[in-house]
Each structure stands twice: as structure tokens, then as C-alpha cells.
Amino acid sequence: MPRVNTHMGLKRAGVAAALALTACACGRGRPAPGGPGGGMAFPPAAVALAAARTTDIEDATEYVATLKSLKSTAIQPQIDGQITQIFVKSGDRVAEGARLVQIDPRRQQAAVSSQEAERAARQASVNFARQQQQRASELYAAGAISKQELEQADTALRTAEANLEALQAQVQQQQVQLRYYTVTAPTPGIVGDIPVRVGNQVATQTVLTTVDQNDTLELYVSVPMERAGELKPGMPIRVLSSDAQQTLVTTTISFISPHVDDETQSVLVKGLVRNTGSLRASQFVRARIVWSTAPGLVVPVTAVLRVSGQYFAFVAEDAGGKLVARQRAIKVGSIVGDTYIVLDGIKPNEQVVVSGAQKLTDNAPIQAAPPPAAAPNPESRIPNP
């Protein structure tokens, strides 16, 4: 049989007992974490709180729309010729009758001058024929000439007067034609793009520029067929800024097309827009059609946490006179501005944590952080004498 070292076994047992006694002594001499209660005591976390509030929620859809001028006039010359001067530039605001473009009028001016000289000659012929008719009348009354000669004098006078009237009509026509060489604004408005330049040869089909009246614009929105059946006259349309954070102007639906665009399968909707000065014709804008409005509960987006596809929020609750953060699973809708629409999980006026939620756990003690102190106004300081 093997020999058992009983002395070594007793020694090891003694060491183990001594270690156990030491551990017990240490446990009796050091208090448990958290004090008498045995739990770890943490100071309340300072967090920012905000109340869940009820507000009007819009069921709205945003589309890309186009602004068009109700009074946009394409300026085309009424005669052919070469441009010698352009009096305006794009963006100028002009009054009715203001000069826009000058087309070389020298050939027409020469034609008018020639006809005016011819008119002076015919006027002289009329004066001479009138004198002859008066003399013939006196001679006929004295019996010095025959009636035939008097009639010839009358005919000569009427012929000269008719020739003069015909030439005067031609002169007037040429003078009107001469005015066409100075192209003017038919209506007041803003000058658009000017694609022509000095020296260009233009014809009656050439577009020189446009004059737009942007005080009132028309909004064109193409609504897909999926929601076209919900369109009604008078529905609100909000024209938004480029970042969709600001409403520039609000209008209503004034026209719903009875036809569907066969290419885009959409329905054209129009609304009149009073220009605030920041909008332009042919501009693309964001347009939000408001289908309906109903009250709903919202919380700031910073109060909502998302974990594994589930949304949570910390709600401040009173626990024995102290605030604690209760973690709740909530259901949310879309984002409206800087808030989430809350569908379930939070009640109106409940306080939610909007800052510092990332460092919280369920039932963690919290306290409302004081609002940030306003920075002192340097101008309000009184200098020392």
C-alpha cells in the first residue's frame, strides 16, 4: 500500500482555514457597496426635459412644382433688319412703352423722307390746281370761258387733291413702319433673357426677349394618379424654401385638370401665388399639398432612441419624491419639422428626456438640468470710471 503523508495534509488544511478566517475578517471590517442598503448609490444625472405636446398634424405630400408667369410676353420685331442698340439688360424692370431694342432705321427713314418730299410737291400741285379752278370760276362767271373749261379746272383740282391724299396715306404708313424699328415693351414687367446681340440680323420670327409680370405667378404641380382622386379645389398648397424648412407662401388649388398626362400618368394642378419678391417665373420649387389636418402628439426628435428597429424614449416619473427615467417602447410616425409624431407609448404633457438619454438606464435617477445662462451683453456693461 502507498504511504500517506499525513503531516503534509494537515499543513494544507491549516493554511486553507487561515485564509478563510482572513477573508471573513476583511468582510466584517469593510462596508458593502452602496451603504446599508447594499446597492450602489449614483448621483442623479442632469438631463434636459421637454413635455410631449398636442398639435395639428398635416397629412401632406411634397412635390416638385414650377412657377409660371400669368403675363409673359415674347418680344418679336415686326420688321426685318439689323440690331444697332439694346437699351436694357436681363432683369431690368421696365414700364409700358419703354425702349428695348433699336433696329437700323436708316433705310426706312430715307423712304419716309422721300415720300414727304413727294407730298410737298403734290401739295404744291393742289395749290396750283385750286388757283386755276378759282380763276376759271371767275372767268366763267364773266362769260370769258366755256363751261367745259370750268369743268376741266374742277377735275384737275379734284385729281390733285386725290393724289395728295393717297400719298399722305402712304407717308403715314411709312411713318408707322418707322416706329417698328424701335422695339418697346407692350406691358410693364421684368426683362428676361436677351439672346440677341448688337449687329445681329433679325426677322419677324426672332425672339428678342421676354417681359414677365411676376407680381402674380401660377403654380404648376403634377400629382400622380395614386392620389389624384383625393384632389379637391381649395386644398392648401405650401410653397417651401429650398431646404423645406420655411414656408415662402401659401395658396390653394384653383384648377384640377380633367385630363391625365399620358407620359407621366399624373394630373396637373394649379394655384395662384402672390409673389413675395423671392420667386421667379420658370422657377422649380417645393410644393406641399395638405390633404388633411388632425390633432396629434409630438416629441422632439432628440427624445427618440432606436435600438434594433424598435423606438424608445425615457419618460421622467416621480418615484417617492425623486425623478427617475423610465424607458418605454413607443410607436412613432413621420418626422414633422424637428419633432416625431407619437402614435403610442407616451401621453400628452408627460416629460421626456431630450438631452443626455444616451447615458441613462431604466429607472436611473435624474434631475432637470437648469436652462443655459444667457451670455452677458457686452454693450450693457458699465465701464469703470
* Residue 58 confidence (pLDDT): 85
The answer to whether the CB of 304 falls within 8 A of the CB of 330 is yes
Q: What is the pTM of this model?
A: 0.55
From the number of C-beta atoms within 10 Å of its C-beta (0-12, 13-18, 19+), residue 188 rates as: middle
Cα 84 to Cα 102: distance, rounded to the nearest angstrom: 6
Q: Residues 54, 58, 61, CA angle at the centre, nearest 5°?
A: 150
* Residue 175 confidence (pLDDT): 86
* Residue 357 confidence (pLDDT): 80
Please report, in tens digits, the pLDDT of each residue of the chain (385 residues total): 344 443 444 344 443 433 333 333 334 334 434 343 334 556 888 899 999 999 988 888 999 999 998 888 899 999 999 999 999 999 899 999 999 999 999 988 888 888 888 889 989 999 999 999 999 998 988 888 888 988 999 999 999 999 989 888 888 888 888 899 999 999 898 898 999 999 999 999 999 999 988 888 999 999 999 999 999 999 999 999 888 778 899 999 999 999 999 999 999 999 999 887 788 888 899 999 999 999 999 999 999 999 888 999 999 999 888 899 999 999 998 888 789 999 999 999 999 999 888 888 899 999 888 755 444 444 434 344 3
Q: Where do the domains of the chain lie, and which CATH numbers do they carry?
A: 45-56+296-368 (2.40.420.20), 60-70+216-294 (2.40.30.170), 79-103+182-207 (2.40.50.100), 105-180 (1.10.287)
* Residue 371 confidence (pLDDT): 57
Closest of 73, 61, 65 to residue 282, by C-alpha: 65
| Cβ neighbours around 382 below 10 Å, total | 5
H-only helix segments in 30-146: 106-141
The answer to whether the CB of 292 falls within 8 A of the CB of 42 is no
Q: Which residues contact 373 (CB under 8 A, 6 or more apart)?
A: none
